[in-house]
Amino acid sequence: MNWFTNFLTSSIGRKLIMSLTGLFLISFLIVHLLGNFQLLKNDAGEAFNVYAKFMTSNPLIKFISIGLYAMILLHAVLGILLWSNNRKAKSTVPAVGYRSEKVSWASKNMALLGILVFAFLCIHMGDFWFKMKFGEVATVNYGDGEVKDLYAKVQASFSSWLVVFAYIIGVLALGVHLWHGFESAFQTLGFNHNKYTPLIKSLGKGLSVILVIGYLILPIYFKLFLSA
Ligand code: HEM
């Protein structure tokens, strides 16, 4: 176990785990967005509610969800530790031969953006996930047993401009975090190639824009056209 503790406490070990958990979390974001698009079906929430029931009762998905929560926490904790170590290192005199490189605003502020995304996630999960699991949510019956009416819950939440505003801030912070994070993860994993690195950078930026637009369409559309 000693090698594992050494790995977890080394800067490169932490960065590798950050990259792998980050890429897993991006794949979750793509699946989550595709699932949420069922909210846009013109069926008063039936497809979304049936889908939500499946996602919360299927044993395999329940198991993957536990991994997801663990990865969110690991990514957040290691991110803060790396940030704090980098700060300490920067306060010491730079080594001989040190050249200051041009770095983007996103790359300099990954920790701040990560904290904003985490704060958003706490609000988001408190409102939907926690209430779905432990709170009182009305049920509906589409002919195959009772299912929780999560669609009505989403509709009620997105009726408030304050909630929509929180989503705009949280999702924009997520987009900027991914703008740098996607290419940075591949770099840490050692993908450095004249031909493929520019492709990975463009893919990361394209994906960030698509996720931001996709995740913002939902609260804004609900607020403007489907307010409860
Ligand atoms: C803007 C549109 C969004 C909508 C409508 C939405 C909707 C939902 C709903 C209804 C749930 C509860 C599902 C359940 O417990 O069955 C949920 C869970 C969750 N959402 Fe979102 N979400 C949105 C954006 C986001 C974003 C941007 C993130 C990440 C930063 C995110 C991360 C999560 C996570 C981690 C869970 C818990 C998943 C699980 O338990 O497996 N969501 N979301």
Best probe residue, ligand 1, of 26, 33, 36, 176 (max atoms within 8 Å of C-beta): 36
Share of the chain residues as helix, strand and coil, in percent rounded to the nearest 5: 80, 5, 20
Angle between helices 161-188 and 196-225 (to 10 degrees): 170
Task: Tell me what pLDDT residue 1 has.
Answer: 65
Place of tokens 């290691």: 78
Q: Which CATH class is domain 2-225?
A: mainly alpha
Token pair recorded at residue 91: 């306060």
Residue with the smallest CA separation from ligand 1 atom 24 is 215
pTM of the model: 0.93
Task: Tell me what pLDDT residue 93 has.
Answer: 57
CA of residue 25 to ligand 1 center, whole Å: 12
CA of residue 26 to ligand 1 center, whole Å: 13
Task: Tell me what pLDDT residue 98 has.
Answer: 52
Answer for the pair 180, 104: CB distance below 8 angstroms, yes or no. yes
Q: Residues in the chain with pLDDT < 50? A: none
d(C-alpha 219, C-alpha 167), whole Å: 7
Task: Tell me what pLDDT residue 101 has.
Answer: 63
- Give domain limits for the chain: 2-225
CA of residue 105 to ligand 1 center, whole Å: 27
| Ligand 1 touching residue 24 (CB < 6 A) | no
Task: Tell me what pLDDT residue 214 has.
Answer: 98
